[in-house]
Chains A and B, each alone.
Chain A
């Protein structure tokens, strides 16, 4: 191997090693990209969050009602009961609506949980906005404590006409220390 080949080799190797490191970084950058993609498209049932002040400005479609049903589940390792007070309700798009959920800790020790929301169908998720939700923060329950938790939400009047039924699902997980949820 002559000197110029050695030089060319080390240049090629440097370039390819850089490419390797960049692709490793690219793998990690897929994580935020995936979240952004889901947020823009509403895929994965990720719901929106707005403040109450924004609600009034929307135009109302008086003649339209949308059915919203509530589904709850609890992860296997969390000894909690979790149910909505009503299973479904008719909602006028553009009007802030309240739904209540009841959660009970069956364990004889304090547990911290957080609820992860999801809306189906996916196409409707980005038209479902919450102004207040127990899922925004972690919930801590003493032994045998029962808690009623509200959700305030607004269905965007721009919701596609063909969507007549929205399903809002919550799953309670035992809170991880590093959890960040919205």
Chain B
């Protein structure tokens, strides 16, 4: 990233700190974006290593490599790290890098808060990862932290709670920053309905974060006081109720899944029109669909807990609202397909990942619909069908969109084209191995294999072995991504300002790489076309 540094021409602060101090004290949105993205990549590999341990143990029936307690820790930590450490910081990283450049702003609205919201993350995850070495082991009760099981966590328990608090504070600060930036820092002429869809999806994500993360903070604080201060929110002995935790948790948890996926919709809505060389079909319907999904996400939470014992009226309500989400999501998928209809497409790596996203995310959406139907959910609940579903939406959904976005903007960030041949290898190896990894898990779930168990009955052996082989393949393929990024940062073919033939938007009017301080003067309002993506 030293290339970026040499381009800065800071005229109002005098000397800049260099070396480590530059990164510790930076308030520049591009530096902070880079920090977020590198942090996220690191967490992606730590969480991925845990996934490899899980798949290794599940390669054959019986207990071979790890003891069940450690296996449960791996399942729990893998989820926490991938959700809070890999995907969420990656979206904030993209927001930091791209939103000011997309809306013609010189920087984020609150640069110092921006620095702070990144730098609490390393502390949060050091705390969380340190629990692996504590008496009683790392948290092993599942990332959903259901009491009373989670209250049996050893010394790790308060570290888990405070790590969650830190991660939450970081994402709320990031969300406030994005919303303030988009509301107040837009260049003249950049009206709301001209915003690129990535910006739109991120504002809505920001509101979801602000509305849901504090509820999680409240829920884990109740767990903390139940364990150490004698309250009885979730303890039947004191008149509380453990099921109430599930309601409060999923009131946060369902908006959370849209926090993880909405920015992906925005990125795909930027990439498909670029490589289809056509304006996005149905821009305003995309905006309204995103808003509708965000609203519905707050009234569907109990579909995660159909089997706890709800009255029929409740199960019907949550089933209908859940299935209703298919309407705005369908609007989006059809809009992407209509954008490609009769277009002149080319298939560079960002487009390949975006197409992979559209197809595979839709598979995950369909299995989600199946799970949303109450009577069917009674069979699928807590089986590998659920695991297959959320990995299709989170890996081939969110992570594929992250990869698509990284390839799409990497030439802009570094000023160099990435190695297209290696990148195509990365895509094809990923897309094949990820399906080998997760598709058989649908069958395992339908056949009744429960999730979060280190051993299984022998009839599940073949599909588990296939899945583990796919897992190893997917894990190894991601090393290619690191090689491509390093190569691209170090050098390569010089990227043009526009980078892609069909690229539209303010970020492509800047040089590649962009100057350290971009849009210190607002761009020409004539250059803001909008509506395209």
A-B complex is real? yes
When A21-B214, A176-B230, A178-B231 are in contact, do A116 and B184 touch as well, CB less than 8 Å?
no
Which chain A residue has the least Cβ–Cβ distance from B183? A12
Q: Is A179 an interface residue (CB 8 A)?
A: yes
Judge whether B210 and A9 touch: CB under 8 Å.
Answer: no
Query: Which single residue of chain B is at the shortest CB-CB distance from A115?
Result: B237
Does any Cβ of A come within 8 Å of B180's Cβ?
yes
Contact: A27 with B172, CB < 8 Å? no
Q: Does A28 contact B (CB under 8 A)?
A: yes
Q: Is the CB of A123 within 8 A of B311?
A: yes
A132 close to chain B: CB less than 8 A: no
B236 touches A176 (CB 8 A): no
Residues facing A in B304-330 (CB within 8 A) are 309-311
How large, as a class, is the contact surface on chain A?
Answer: 35 or more
Q: Would you call A27 and B219 a contact (CB within 8 A)? A: yes
Instruction: Give Cα A176–Cα B180 distance, bound, in whole angstroms.
Output: 46
A75-B241 Cα distance, complex, nearest whole Å: 15
The docked-state distance in angstroms from the alpha carbon of A116 to that of B238 is 9
Chain B, 193-250, CB within 8 A of any chain A CB: 210-219, 222, 230-233, 235-239, 241, 243-244, 247-248
B363: A residues at CB distance < 8 A: none
CB pair B180–A43 under 8 Å, yes or no, is no
CB distance from A148 to the nearest CB of B (A): 23
User: What's the count of A-B pairs with C-beta under 8 Å?
Assistant: 114
B214 contact set on A, CB distance < 8 A: 20-21, 23-24, 26-27
User: Once the chains bind, are B110 and A9 in contact (CB under 8 Å)?
Assistant: yes
- A174 and B243 contacting across the interface, CB-CB below 8 Å: no
Q: Is B110 a contact partner of A43 (Cβ separation < 8 A)?
A: no
- B contacts with A, residue count (CB < 8 A): 42
Known: A31-B244, A43-B311. Contact between A181 and B239, CB under 8 A? yes
Contact partner, B210, options A1, A16, A122, A178, Cβ 8 Å = A16
Q: Known: A21-B214, A23-B215. Contact between A16 and B236, CB under 8 A?
A: no
Known: A44-B243, A116-B236. A19 touches B217 (CB 8 A): no
- Is A17 located at the chain interface by the 8 A CB criterion? yes
**Consensus secondary structure, chain A interface:** helix
Task: Report whether B106 and A17 are in contact in the complex, using a CB–CB cutoff of 8 Å.
Answer: no
Contact A176 B244 (CB under 8 A): no
Residues of chain B within 8 A (CB-CB) of A114 are: 237
Residues A179 and B238 in contact, CB atoms below 8 Å apart:
yes
Output the nearest chain A residue to B251 by Cβ-Cβ distance: A30
Inter-chain contacts of A50 with B (CB < 8 A): none
Task: Name the CB-closest residue of B to A44.
Answer: B241
Chain B contacts of A176 at CB under 8 A?
230, 232, 235, 237-238
A16–B109 Cα distance when bound, in Å, is 14
A122 touches B243 (CB 8 A): no
Roughly how many angstroms separate A110 CA and B231 CA in the complex, as a whole number?
23
Q: Does A181 lie within 8 Å of B176, measured CB to CB?
A: no
Q: How far apart sit A28 and B233, CA to CA, in the bound complex (Å)?
A: 10
> Which residues of chain B have C-beta atoms less than 8 A from A38's C-beta?
241
Complex: how many Å from CA A130 to CA B238?
19
Interface centre among B109, B176, B237, B251 (most CB of A within 10 A): B237
Q: A180 within 8 Å of B by Cβ?
A: yes
Which residues of B lie under 8 Å from residue A8 when comparing CB positions?
A: 183-184
**Does B185 make an interface contact (CB < 8 A)?**
yes
How long is the Cα–Cα vector from A30 to B230 in the complex, in angstroms? 19
Give min CB distance, B246 to chain A, whole Å: 11
Within 8 A of B (CB), among A11-63: 12-13, 16-17, 19-21, 23-28, 30-31, 34, 38, 41, 43-44
Asked if B300 CB lies within 8 Å of chain A CBs, one says no
- In contact, A181 and B238 (Cβ under 8 angstroms): yes
Contact A27 B237 (CB under 8 A): no
Q: Is the CB of B219 within 8 A of A175?
A: no
CB atoms of A116 and B239 under 8 A apart: yes
Cβ contacts under 8 Å, B393 to chain A: none
Known: A13-B110, A34-B244. A26 touches B215 (CB 8 A): yes
Residue B239 contacts which of A19, A75, A122, A179 (CB distance < 8 angstroms)?
A179
A23 touches B210 (CB 8 A): yes
Contact B218 A178 (CB under 8 A): no
- A28 and B211 contact, Cβ closer than 8 Å, known pairs A44-B243, A181-B238: no
Chain B residues lying within 8 Å of A83, measured Cβ to Cβ, are none
Give the distance in Å from the alpha carbon of A25 to the alpha carbon of B248 in the complex: 12
B179 at the A/B interface (Cβ < 8 Å)?
Answer: yes
Q: Provide the bound-state CA to CA distance between A83 and B494, in Å.
A: 82
Complex Cα spacing A181 to B244, Å: 16
Are A179 and B237 CB-contacts (below 8 A) given A41-B311, A44-B243? yes
Q: CB distance A27 to B241 under 8 Å?
A: no
Asked if B179 and A12 make an inter-chain contact with CB atoms under 8 angstroms apart, the answer reads: yes
Task: Enumerate 6 A-B pairs (CB-CB under 8 Å) in ascending A order.
Answer: A26-B215, A34-B241, A34-B247, A116-B237, A175-B237, A176-B232
Which residues of B pack against A, CB within 8 Å?
106-107, 109-110, 172, 175-176, 179-180, 183-185, 210-219, 222, 230-233, 235-239, 241, 243-244, 247-248, 251-252, 309-311
Interface residues of A (CB under 8 A from B): 1, 5, 8-9, 12-13, 16-17, 19-21, 23-28, 30-31, 34, 38, 41, 43-44, 75, 114, 116, 122-123, 171, 173-182
What are the 10 A-B residue pairs with the smallest beta carbon separation, nearest first? A27-B218, A173-B237, A24-B214, A23-B214, A27-B215, A8-B184, A179-B238, A12-B180, A176-B238, A16-B176
